[in-house]
Structure 1
Amino acid sequence: MKRLILYIFVLLLYTSVLSQGKFQFYGKNTDKQEVSFKLINNLIIIPLEVNGHKLSFILDTGVNKTILFNGIDSDSISLNNVNKFFVRGLGSGEPIEVLSSKGNSFRVKNILSSNQELYVVLRDSFNLSAKMGTTIHGIIGYDLLKDVIVKINYNRKSVVFYNPKTYKVQKCRKCETFPLQFYKNKPYIDVEARIDTINNVTIPVKLLIDSGGSDAMWLFEGTKKNIKTPIKHFRDVLGEGMSGTIYGNRSKIPYLSLGKFLIEKPTVSFLDTISTLNARQFKERNGSIGGNILNRFKVWVDYPNKKITLKKNASLKKGFFYNMSGLHIIYDGKELVKEVIRKKTEDTYGGENKEGDIISFINYYQYKFKPKYKINVVVEGSPAYKAGILKGDIIMSINGQKSYEYTLEEIMFLFQTKPNRKIKLKVKRGFVYLKFEFKLEKRI
């Protein structure tokens, strides 16, 4: 209760200096605020307070509205001025029910806004928390970024929010700056790509800057650029959108040119028309650049001045890989696990170590809650599919190691390591334990 009263006091104290719906800096340092973030599956997760509740949000340049997922934690948050309506997003499913709430207070460290609008998704088709293995309460983008200049350091896992009124641009010879074009408050960049794997021809493409996308790159088939999936590709589930599952083809292209930076052989997801019908409202858009490319740079996102600046980091030349197992795995809560602790005891007959001393071991047991992982999708024709693994199987061990000793990200990385790597899985299907073995298969 004391903390709530203090928060209300701080909110009232700064209401007079905050304009409606605008983030502003307060406190001793009004020039910048640095925040550490979690980097999971190439996505940036920052702490965000909503009406005094500490939550975890994805910082997503690809969204123009702040979204809160309906869940256990978010149910306890008091929302103001609520209205109900339906929206359609990426995916081939039906429109979903959404609540609109105005007059909410947001806070990122010492950056505060007292009158923000957010949208509560009543049916969490994203299921992001399960897919990322950590609690995700929502997504924030334009509402915050329009009022700050942001420097994202993927290597250090830190984001610095600068006050646009006092920010001074530093000279950087190794940087490349691009103008941003906005459509419905989403940022787009003009670059060049060689998509044709046969002819050495580059074409200009307009791509959404999407820090909330974990893939390297998305391209839309059938656009005016006559973009087509390369011959070498495979069909896959690309992710979940607001309106359901997103399907498409996975492949690679020769390169993407970001000014002087050449991104060689990036993995690209080619999306079909049905899944991206809503995203194609901006007729000039050809696709998006996601976190698996952005994380190879130090990134300055400057919405107030409509530009983005890139400076390469050590991972620029690292290769691009994809899931070669055909398994899409989600976090499935926690289960109680019995662990053995072996303790050594010594009988030294008076405290001195002598020959003939008795050394014995006693086993103790403790119970801890550990993460549980479940097969969510098995791609048809994939190595896992051929091995007989089914959706709903609970993973017990991977290559002889207990599944709970992995993070979800470590499991997915294991499936992206190298072709022909042997994977041994022990799963629980109902009340039966089964063992499977397959090799990672390079499909493009």
Structure 2
Amino acid sequence: MSKRLFFGLFFFLLFILNMQAQDRFLLSEYKQKQSLSFKLINNIVVIPLEINGKELSFILDTGVDKTILFNLQLNDSIELHNIEQIKLYGLGEGEALDALRSTKNRVTIGNIKNIDHMVYVVLDETFDLSAKMGENINGIIGGELFEDFIVDINYRTKKITFYDPISYKSNNLCSKCEIIPLEFIKNKPYVNLKIKDHKETVKQVKLLIDSGGSDALWLFANDEKDISVPDNYFKDFLGKGLSGNIYGKRSRIKELIIGDYIIENPSTSFPDSSSVFTAMQNEQRNGTLGAEVLRRFRVIFDYSNQQLSIRPNKGFSDPFLYNKSGMELVHGGDVLVKESKAQFIGPENIKNQSSFSEISYAFGLSFKPSYQISYLRPESPALEAGLQVGDIILEINGKPAYDQKLHEIILTLSKQEGQKINVLVDRGGRQIKYKFKLKGML
């Protein structure tokens, strides 16, 4: 072998090794796709993954271009590499967060691997999405996964598939899908849609697609762009961003038009400018398209071809619900609950249960979730009934709160106006009963 050929081969191999070490997500050899089931919590997709061998639950979020780890109150430590301290900025009324940046981490999602991934770690313990969602959430992952794969999200079956872009053929999977062009600003996906506002005026808006936001639609009020808040609105807590709580006004617009599909009277939030100051610096952006809209479709993100494929599912015409009690709940930690289990005592091997001669009950303690009131909307039914921030919800309509998921409780509080709600709370060790009726605000 000549020296020229040897050195040429040597540098080619170095190039290949360098490519493999880049911060990219790749399917295992001979694999063309990876499918997995996900949890759908408050419209948000939560997927399992591993970071350096530690099993975690992450929100899949098109609205972020970094992998962010938080809620480090874990029994087992997570090994992170090459750490440096930084500041992270995001939506919310607070200041930037202290954070860590770590490189060369190994991330695994089934047959998908990244051996050189950069992870950002939020150190602020108050930023805890687990409390808000009622489930253990360890972080957010988004942009890089969508850049490296075609991502097919089926909200009805709760199944997500990551396809190798080279082998993916859209016509075989979603021939009846409508294709919506995507535009990218700072590596984040935007879509140009039309709305019909409360004045019956049709206008085009540029929206960030945010699969990690549980709301339907956010619009940034702007006189110059003729985007205004309808007269019929109420002030509310809209969510939590990296930089703190987000407040604003909730209302509805007449229509949201996505290609050939028209969504009537969608719930629409208008965040306060102080809460989304950073986002509003992008003069092109008019708001956010959230998961309450996305979950009404089968959606296929194809970043490589800058397009979004959509097809309505059975939930397309679902009503847009909102919490009519006015109280926001968060996970308040686990509590010990005394439970009883029936034990049948009698002759062995008797199949007919009615022949047992005795039934006894065994009692034991187990940890169950508790839910705490974190916010009360002004002039809301819950506030006017006498409930207070910090109250621990013990029962709702006679059913123990610990036997329900947080999103199930929120669904109960989002039912028809006039629905009676009976609540038992713990306030400083005292148990107090309250009752009120759900009140529609729109």
Superimposed CA distance per residue, residues 29-73 of structure 1 (whole angstroms, 9 cap, x where no aligned partner) = 2x1110111110000011121112111110000001110104123
Q: How does 1:378-389 map to 2 (within 5 A)?
A: 378-389=376-387
Could you tell me which residue of structure 1 aligns to residue 55 of structure 2? Answer: 54
Q: Aligned-pair distance for 1:235?
A: 0.3
Q: Aligned-pair distance for 1:382?
A: 0.5
Paired amino acid for 1:195 = D
Q: Structure 1: how far apart are the matches of 2:196 and 2:284? A: 18
Paired amino acid for 1:188 = Y
Q: Contact (CA 8 Å) 2:181, 2:191: kept in 1 or not?
A: yes
Q: Aligned-pair distance for 1:344?
A: 5.1
Unaligned runs of 5+ in 2: 1-15
Q: Structure 1: how far apart are the matches of 2:164 and 2:361? A: 58
CA 1:70 to 1:411, structure 2 compared with 1: closer, same or farther past 3 Å?
A: closer
Q: Structure 2: how far apart are the matches of 1:391 and 1:67? A: 29
CA 1:413 to 1:227, structure 2 compared with 1: closer, same or farther past 3 Å?
A: same
Q: Contact (CA 8 Å) 1:125, 1:241: kept in 2 or not?
A: no
Unaligned runs of 5+ in 1: 1-13
Paired amino acid for 1:422 = K
The range that moved more, 362-371 or 294-303, is: 362-371
Q: Contact (CA 8 Å) 1:38, 1:46: kept in 2 or not?
A: yes
Q: How does 1:132-211 map to 2 (within 5 A)?
A: 132-170=133-171, 172=174, 174-196=176-198, 199-211=199-211
Q: Structure 2: how far apart are the matches of 1:90 and 1:133? A: 21
Q: Aligned-pair distance for 1:437?
A: 0.2
Could you tell me which residue of structure 2 aligns to residue 73 of structure 1? Answer: 74
CA 1:358 to 1:304, structure 2 compared with 1: closer, same or farther past 3 Å?
A: closer
Superimposed CA distance per residue, residues 219-248 of structure 1 (whole angstroms, 9 cap, x where no aligned partner) = 111264221111111000101111111000
Could you tell me which residue of structure 2 aligns to residue 18 of structure 1? Answer: 20
Say how many residue pairs are matched: 422
The range that moved more, 237-246 or 363-372, is: 363-372
2:423 counterpart (402, 422, 425) = 425
Paired amino acid for 1:215 = D
Q: Structure 1: how far apart are the matches of 2:149 and 2:42? A: 25
Paired amino acid for 1:166 = S
Q: Structure 1: how far apart are the matches of 2:123 and 2:286? A: 30
CA 1:368 to 1:168, structure 2 compared with 1: closer, same or farther past 3 Å?
A: same
Q: Aligned-pair distance for 1:343?
A: 4.1
Q: Contact (CA 8 Å) 1:68, 1:74: kept in 2 or not?
A: no
Q: Aligned-pair distance for 1:126?
A: 3.2
Could you tell me which residue of structure 1 aligns to residue 334 of structure 2? Answer: 334
Could you tell me which residue of structure 1 aligns to residue 436 of structure 2? Answer: 438
Q: Aligned-pair distance for 1:25?
A: 1.1
CA 1:127 to 1:70, structure 2 compared with 1: closer, same or farther past 3 Å?
A: closer
Q: Contact (CA 8 Å) 2:66, 2:142: kept in 1 or not?
A: yes
CA 1:358 to 1:186, structure 2 compared with 1: closer, same or farther past 3 Å?
A: closer
The range that moved more, 65-74 or 412-421, is: 65-74
Q: Aligned-pair distance for 1:89?
A: 1.2
Among all aligned residue pairs of Structure 1 and Structure 2, give the percentage whose two residues are the same amino acid.
43
Could you tell me which residue of structure 2 aligns to residue 245 of structure 1? Answer: 245
The range that moved more, 323-332 or 360-369, is: 360-369
Q: Aligned-pair distance for 1:346?
A: 6.5
Name the Cα RMSD after superposition: 2.1
Paired amino acid for 2:227 = I
The range that moved more, 100-109 or 150-159, is: 100-109
Q: How does 1:408-423 map to 2 (within 5 A)?
A: 408-423=406-421
Could you tell me which residue of structure 1 aligns to residue 123 of structure 2? Answer: 122
Q: Structure 2: how far apart are the matches of 1:27 and 1:39? A: 30
Q: Aligned-pair distance for 1:15?
A: 6.5
CA 1:164 to 1:173, structure 2 compared with 1: closer, same or farther past 3 Å?
A: closer
Superimposed CA distance per residue, residues 164-185 of structure 1 (whole angstroms, 9 cap, x where no aligned partner) = 1111121655321111111111
Q: Contact (CA 8 Å) 2:27, 2:111: kept in 1 or not?
A: yes
Paired amino acid for 1:413 = L
TM-score by length of 1: 0.91
TM-score by length of 2: 0.91
Could you tell me which residue of structure 1 aligns to residue 280 of structure 2? Answer: 280
Q: Contact (CA 8 Å) 1:85, 1:98: kept in 2 or not?
A: yes
Q: Contact (CA 8 Å) 2:71, 2:127: kept in 1 or not?
A: no
Q: Structure 2: how far apart are the matches of 1:34 and 1:266? A: 31
Q: Contact (CA 8 Å) 1:218, 1:268: kept in 2 or not?
A: yes
Q: Contact (CA 8 Å) 1:74, 1:137: kept in 2 or not?
A: no
Query: The residue matched to 2:388 in structure 1 has which SS?
Result: coil
The range that moved more, 332-341 or 109-118, is: 332-341
Q: Contact (CA 8 Å) 1:125, 1:240: kept in 2 or not?
A: no
Query: The residue matched to 1:63 in structure 2 has which SS?
Result: coil
Q: Aligned-pair distance for 1:108?
A: 1.2
